[in-house]
Amino acid sequence: MRFFIDTADLDEIRTLAATGLIDGATTNPSLVARSGRRFEDVIAEICAILPGPVSAEVTALDAPTMVAEGRYLARIATNVTVKVPLTPDGLKACRELSGDGIPVNVTLCFSAGQAILAAKAGATFVSPFVGRLDDIGLNGMDLIRDICAIYRAQPAFKTEVLVASVRGVNHVIEAARLGAHVATMPPAVVRALYAHPLTDKGLAAFMADWEKTGQKLDVGNSKPRAAE
């Protein structure tokens, strides 16, 4: 399962890219606005930090302009994935851009029917927003279960499920269990995946016991001293 980071905050991206566990990034107009930076500059810098797919969303609502914007965004870097909304115009643009060989992430997906349309439009990724379904009292992961089952039943569909609007580690764990291809998550969720109080407690105990031995590994010695 691939992890994408869902932010346009370059410091966060640099820090978490250094873990070697981040396979790409997703942005959207709200995240770019939050960065306070020029859109094209942010995307170019993210693409320079992360070699994997970096989603940059079109800002138009009509297919011809979406296509023109998508081609423009794709010229920023070779790892740009163009994001389009799941609307009739968005899927027309998806069909044309993917026909040009430009990878497309169809976003704002909230139903299995929409996900079927995205696959038929040749999307590289479809982004179901699980957190926003949870927000209205539904279970977003039920949608992921449906889409993964439908895509598995349709071998002609080449679209990958990119779980988005991830709000916590349980979304990531369940997405992995269901066989989703990618989860995109805010930096805080990446960090939360590492965290467990028993890990901290166990490590503190190991270090305390090691301290009591008074030993120190002589890492500068190329040949560790054999036991006497």
List interacting residues with ligand G3P (CB under 6 A). Answer: 6, 26, 28, 31, 129, 131-132, 164-165, 184
Q: How far is the CB of 55 from ligand G3P (least distance, A)?
A: 8
Active site residues: 83
Q: What is the length of the chain?
A: 228
Which residue, 53 or 96, has its beta carbon nearer to ligand G3P?
Answer: 53
- The owner of tokens 């709200």 is 30
Q: How far apart are CA 105 and CA 126, in angstroms?
A: 6
Q: What is the CA radius of gyration of the chain?
A: 21
The contacts of residue 146 (CB under 8 Å, 6+ apart) are 112, 115
Q: Which residues, listed in sequence order, are joined to residue 164 by a DSSP beta bridge?
A: 129
Q: How far is the CB of 160 from ligand G3P (least distance, A)?
A: 15
Q: Which is nearer to ligand G3P, 110 or 157 (CB)?
A: 110
Residues 6+ apart with CB under 8 A from 115: 109, 126, 128, 143, 146, 147, 150, 151, 159, 161
Burial group, residue 218, by CB count within 10 angstroms (0-12, 13-18, 19+): exposed
Minimal CB distance to ligand G3P: which residue?
A: 165
| Sequence-separated (6 or more) residues with CB below 8 Å from residue 63 | 89, 90, 92, 93, 96
Q: How far is the CB of 136 from ligand G3P (least distance, A)?
A: 11
Work out how close the CB of 184 gets to ligand G3P at its nearest, in angstroms, rounded to a whole number.
5
CB-nearer residue toward ligand G3P: 26 or 98: 26
The nearer residue to ligand G3P, 29 or 179, going by C-beta atoms, is: 29
User: Minimum Å distance from CB 26 to ligand G3P?
Assistant: 5
Nearer CB in complex with ligand G3P: 159/165: 165
Cα dihedral 200→23→45→106 (10° resolution): -120
Q: Which amino acid is at 207?
A: M
